[in-house]
Amino acid sequence: MLDKLMEYERLPYDRMKEKKTNLGSEQNIFRTINTKLSTLQTAVSDLLLGSNFNLSSATSSDEKVAKVTAAEGATTGNFDVTVNTLAKSHAIKSANITSASTYLKGSVFTIDRAGFPQISIDTSVAAAGSTNGEVLEYIKNQINSQDSGLSASIISVSDTEKVLLLSSKETGLDNKMKLSGGTGGIELGGTSLAGLGISDVDGANQTQAADNATLTVNGVDITRSSNKINDVISGVSLNLLSTGASQVNIAKDTDKIASKIEAFVTAYNDAVNMVRNNLTKPTDKTKMNPLQGDAMLKDVSDKLYTIFNRINANAADIAGGASPINMMSIIGLEIDKGITSGTLMTGKISFDKEKFKEKFNEDPNAVMDLFKRDDAVDSKDGIMQVLNTQLKEWTSTANGLMTSKIKGYDSEISVIDDRMEAMDFRLQMRQDKLKKQFTAMEVALSKLKSQQSWMTSQLAALQTTAKS
């Protein structure tokens, strides 16, 4: 009985709990919409960058000779590239060293490199009785563990002999190894040189000569210390792989530009789809969207549509004459293309990529103006400029309308939490009071039953006495 009474008493509490759940669901919808609008703003911001309308592609007629990549804003054109020599790193070797001998221990190996402290490798720190083979390992490890500009390795030429190999990490004549007393490059010195049998860096000890890359670009002679060259053609990186000739073509890449538009279309459609799904009545007539007809969502839907379909009043100002590119539909972007029935309209953009590429190639400046022109007069602003301003008004983390809406839900939920906590306390007090009342009633009933039994027994006794 007490449980049934408390179920009735808790009905207002349960209604508040349900309201809190519904508010949380609505808040999550606004959070999701805010995220999608922020994603849309990122895509819009990309279309306000001039560099994203100046993307290039690079091709090489012979990628075995040279591979090529182009950055944003790269110089376009055709370039005849002839590679005459490749840049090479310098490599030398020691004489054959008898592994089991011990004459290397105690000698010093020094490396001098311009702009860096001298590296001194003192083999006397090697363990007592170290063999030449162990000292070579020590020298190799010391070279490879420090920024000397060299890399070292050891080759076993027989069961008893080893060779120390040294090579410059970077290519070009500027990184050639020289013996002490030389100038520039990487200088080798110390008492270890004689023990290692290194008496020259150009003759018997040399295994590969240092060399620069030499090439011609459209007949202009060029010399570089590296095979990776990025300062000859503006915005273009050449990776030389072998000698020979290749024709390099740098062109504006409308496919890359179109991919930026596709990213915008995807973000726009995701946001519109989310907004409209929560505005419209479900097909199941027994259900209802909690935000069906919400004024804020309706404002978002209407403004997105209006801004996208606005006519750019700047059309007559472009390139000194009238431009036919003054609406998104002209460059292949259109909302509900071909749909005439209101019930079938989704508000989503369709993108004709080939039409966009055609119009962009015809007049890239007009297309860019349609998107990103920033004018003191609002009617002459590019569509993305207007859309970006509106999206900031909705999504700003400081004072955006979406942010304020979400915070408003937090306040409502907080008030309900406080009320539920207070009501739960009162319900618990009510339950305790009822429990005490029912307990007192049961005790009173028990006493009355006991009295009833006593009186019944007394009356029975009197009746028996009267009969006798």
**Neighbouring residues of 381: CB distance < 8 A, sequence distance ≥ 6:** 373, 374, 375
pTM, 2 dp? 0.63
Q: What fold does the segment set 91-208 form as a domain?
A: Immunoglobulin-like (2.60.40)
DSSP 3-state of 56: strand
Q: What is the pLDDT of residue 314?
A: 59
Maximum Cα–Cα distance across the chain: 152
Q: In this structure, what are the phi and psi dihedrals at residue 169, rounded to the nearest 5 degrees? A: -70, -30
Q: What is the pLDDT of residue 52?
A: 86
Tell me how far apart the alpha carbons of residues 35 and 289 are, in angstroms, rounded to a whole number. Answer: 20
Q: Which residue has the tokens 């907080």?
A: 414
Is the distance from CB of 70 to CB of 235 less than 8 angstroms? yes
**Neighbouring residues of 388: CB distance < 8 A, sequence distance ≥ 6:** 41, 44, 45, 48
Tell me how far apart the alpha carbons of residues 44 and 271 are, in angstroms, rounded to a whole number. Answer: 13
Tens of pLDDT along the chain (468 residues) come to: 777 777 777 788 788 888 888 888 888 989 999 999 999 999 999 999 888 888 888 999 999 999 999 987 788 899 999 999 999 999 999 999 999 998 888 889 999 988 888 899 998 876 667 899 999 999 999 999 999 899 999 999 999 999 999 999 999 999 999 998 656 789 999 999 999 999 999 999 999 999 999 999 999 999 999 999 999 999 999 999 999 999 999 988 888 899 999 999 999 999 999 999 888 877 767 677 788 888 999 999 999 999 999 887 655 444 445 557 888 999 999 998 888 777 788 899 999 999 999 999 888 888 988 888 887 666 678 899 999 999 999 999 888 899 888 888 888 888 888 888 888 778 788 777 777 877 888 888 888 888 888 888 878 778 777 766
DSSP 3-state of 119: strand
Is the distance from CB of 246 to CB of 124 less than 8 angstroms? no
Is the distance from CB of 69 to CB of 51 less than 8 angstroms? no
Rg (CA), the chain: 43
Burial class (CB in 10 A: 0-12, 13-18, 19+), 233: buried
Tell me how far apart the alpha carbons of residues 205 and 93 are, in angstroms, rounded to a whole number. Answer: 5
- Indicate where the chain has its CATH 2.60.40 domain(s): 91-208
State the DSSP H helix or E strand holding residue 460, giving kind and residue range, or none if neither.
helix 401-467
Q: What is the pLDDT of residue 318?
A: 44
